[in-house]
Amino acid sequence: MSRVVLACLVVLCGLVGASAASAASAADGSWDGVNGVQHLHFETGPITVKPGQNSIDNVFVPDAQKPKVDGYIVRARPDLTYLDGKVPPVDVIHLHHGVWLNASGTSPASPAGQVQPIFFGGEEKTVFRIPRGYGYAYKKSDKWILNEMIHNNTPNREKVRLVWDLDFIPATSPLAKSITPVIPFWLDVRRGWGYPVFDVAQRTGGADGQFTFPDEVPTDPYANGPKQNEFSMPYDATLVSAVGHLHPGGLRDDVRLTRGGSSKLIFRSQAKYYDPAGPVSWDVSLTASKTKWRAGVKAGDVLSIHSTYDARQSSWYENMGIVLVFVAPHDTSGPDPFATPVSPEGELTHGHLAENNHHGGKAVVYPDARRAAGKAGATTVKIKDYQFRPGDLGLLYNKKAKVPVVAKGQSLTFVNQDDASYEWHSITTCRAPCNRQTGISYPLANGLAGTQFDSGQLGYGLAGATPAANRVTWKTPSTLSQGTYTYFCRIHPFMRGAFRVQ
């Protein structure tokens, strides 16, 4: 697969490949069991994942990795596997997102750049389904781009591939004659941004412990530009399918339809967490629209997306709110939501997945830094070879190792000395002792209120299109009160460290 550098088109964090699609029968409006639907499997060549990487690539998809003839795509299930076909545990390596884009197509509602999205994968591993009677029109001459972000949580080099299963109906088959083509519309609370994220930690109140973007942002996040979460329909159409994307902590993506002064909730992509710790990890599935769901919309109607996160447990600054809607232009068969109620309720596209089994947080694996000796006069902590020096909890097995101590009112400076072009690290508070086994829901950014800090991702990447902070240093707040502070790296959560303020 040839790698090319493009301006970042999209970014979406999420993943891929769910195991069990809904088994709705054809009578329910699905394609399941319908004769003439081909089940095609595609995969990339081996992709070398650098130690610890969390970066983004755009690659052209060779013709061999696409259907050979024109036709209609009606289902997509992306995933990431090792070369032997096994799916890696999500706490080891995962597809943070993959977005399959058609560079030969356009959509009135595109992500950043004007390339047409087709489907995407994220850690939530949603399966995309287009209901019976509709399909995404594919041409073998289409040029596809895959925007991929693979996150290696470990300091080991790995080889993986992206895989995607498509249900496909050749254009020459009798079945194709009854298909109405649909176009994917990309709704995004940060539509147009290369790295479309928002900060949940900016919330200022709210008794329910939840935060909805953009509705509950204290100051209008769109004050200096277009309302990114809104999209005005260019023509009458029927919406036939929708599914959302969220990061851990995300609870739901709502799509509202506004006409004149009236507004209706027409679709909700609801998160179901299988993780016993609640909305903190990737052990989650989102609802997609039911196969019978339809909404008739008129030219000038406004679609808007509103994304709600839990703000109590693991809220942070890198959250997404996206819904992909498949739209049949000029199809007026769908019920008008203002005349006939349209249920926003969807259905899960898969259950708990085995690759999310390792939640972590049980066994104690590091010493308790609160009991370790301190060394006064510390000024700098170097991050090298995935260790915090001094202060790494792993180093404290050596009884002679000490925790760096900084005087109250002073700061400690952290410097990332790994290869900052792709080895990005953060210094993020976790509640002491923060010394248990790493998993998809441990550690959490649960430093005590008033003493929380987060460095951002120290490293370099394309500005505005990656999460890199584009700096390699960070200073601890000088306002911290006395005590021992434990922290971890959000990108490599086995990395733990401590310092003391005295």
For Cu ion, the binding residues (CB under 5 A) are 425, 489, 491-492, 495
Min. distance of Cβ 425 from Cu ion in angstroms? 3
The nearer residue to Cu ion, 137 or 495, going by C-beta atoms, is 495
The nearer residue to Cu ion, 253 or 423, going by C-beta atoms, is 423
Contact (CB, 8 A) for 443 and 496: yes
Min. distance of Cβ 495 from Cu ion in angstroms? 5
The nearer residue to Cu ion, 273 or 386, going by C-beta atoms, is 386
Q: 3-class DSSP state for residue 161? A: strand
> Could you tell me the two tokens for 119?
């489907």
CA distances from 205 to 151, 199, 212, 217, 222 (A): 32, 14, 11, 10, 20
Q: 3-class DSSP state for residue 313? A: coil
CA distances from 144 to 79, 123, 323, 360 (A): 17, 22, 21, 38
Q: Rounded to whole angstroms, how far apart are CA atoms 458 and 43?
A: 32
Q: Tell me, what DSSP letter sits at residue 66?
A: S
Q: Rounded to whole angstroms, how far apart are CA atoms 155 and 492?
A: 8
Min. distance of Cβ 492 from Cu ion in angstroms? 4
Strand partners, 134: 180
Query: If you count them, how many residues does the chain have?
Result: 502
| CB burial of residue 343 (10 Å; 0-12, 13-18, 19+) | middle
Min. distance of Cβ 459 from Cu ion in angstroms? 9
Min. distance of Cβ 285 from Cu ion in angstroms? 28
Min. distance of Cβ 69 from Cu ion in angstroms? 45
> Could you tell me the two tokens for 55?
């970066």
> Could you tell me the two tokens for 61?
């998809």
Min. distance of Cβ 155 from Cu ion in angstroms? 9
Min. distance of Cβ 470 from Cu ion in angstroms? 16
Q: 3-class DSSP state for residue 308? A: strand
CA distances from 16 to 66, 135, 234, 337, 353 (A): 17, 20, 31, 31, 12
Contact (CB, 8 A) for 88 and 355: yes
The nearer residue to Cu ion, 47 or 427, going by C-beta atoms, is 427
The nearer residue to Cu ion, 9 or 495, going by C-beta atoms, is 495
The nearer residue to Cu ion, 325 or 427, going by C-beta atoms, is 427
User: In this structure, which amino acid lies at residue 215?
Assistant: D
The nearer residue to Cu ion, 323 or 495, going by C-beta atoms, is 495
The nearer residue to Cu ion, 162 or 498, going by C-beta atoms, is 498
Min. distance of Cβ 489 from Cu ion in angstroms? 3
The nearer residue to Cu ion, 162 or 434, going by C-beta atoms, is 434
Q: 3-class DSSP state for residue 290? A: coil
